[in-house]
Amino acid sequence: MRSAQQILADSAVIAVVGASRDPRKAAHSVPLQMQRYGWRIIPVNPTADELFGEPVYRSLAEIPHPVDLVDVFRPARDAVEVVREAVAIGAPAVWLQLGIVSPESRQIATEAGLDYVEDRCLIVERAAAGLTRLG
């Protein structure tokens, strides 16, 4: 199983489930900052059409290309279904953002062979490792 920082280093395309239009929310500022450091962000949100200059998809299944990481900004009770969708689309890793812990999600991911991170923040781990996908 890869470490959180190794997952980020290996990922170029991140699907963000629960990406927000509200710039005051972490579900907006975190993916935006990751995009600024060179990651391609694919927003997944049932009520938006475009975020971060990218088309928004209603579900992971609608994304027409592979993703390297599924980042989850949804409550723990919703994460289980998101992890099942991540398994179904063949994503290699799932990341539950800071404050989100789900033993059932962890079990689903690990049984399917996905790398799994929970209760950690993408931008904190990116900064700690000094990672960028720019230049």
pLDDT digits (tens, 9 = 90+) for 89-109: 999 999 999 999 999 999 999
**pTM (two decimals):** 0.97
Residue 135 pLDDT > 90: no
Q: What is the pLDDT of residues 34-85, one digit of tens each?
A: 999 999 999 999 999 999 999 999 999 999 999 999 999 999 999 999 999 9
Distance from chain centroid for Cα 49: 18
The whole-number pLDDT of residue 13 equals 98
Q: Domains (ranges, CATH) in the chain?
A: 4-129 (3.40.50.720)
Backbone angles phi, psi at 50, to 5 degrees: -150, 135
Rounded to whole angstroms, how far apart are CA atoms 119 and 73?
11
Kindly state the average pLDDT of the residues 105-126.
98
Distances (CA, A) of 20 to 41, 45, 46, 56: 12, 7, 10, 11
Give the containing element (helix H, strand E) for 41.
Answer: strand 40-44
Structure confidence at residue 1 as a pLDDT band (50, 70, 90): confident
The whole-number pLDDT of residue 6 equals 97
Contact status, residue 14 vs residue 34, Cβ threshold 8 Å: yes
Contact status, residue 5 vs residue 11, Cβ threshold 8 Å: no
The whole-number pLDDT of residue 92 equals 98
Structure confidence at residue 27 as a pLDDT band (50, 70, 90): very high
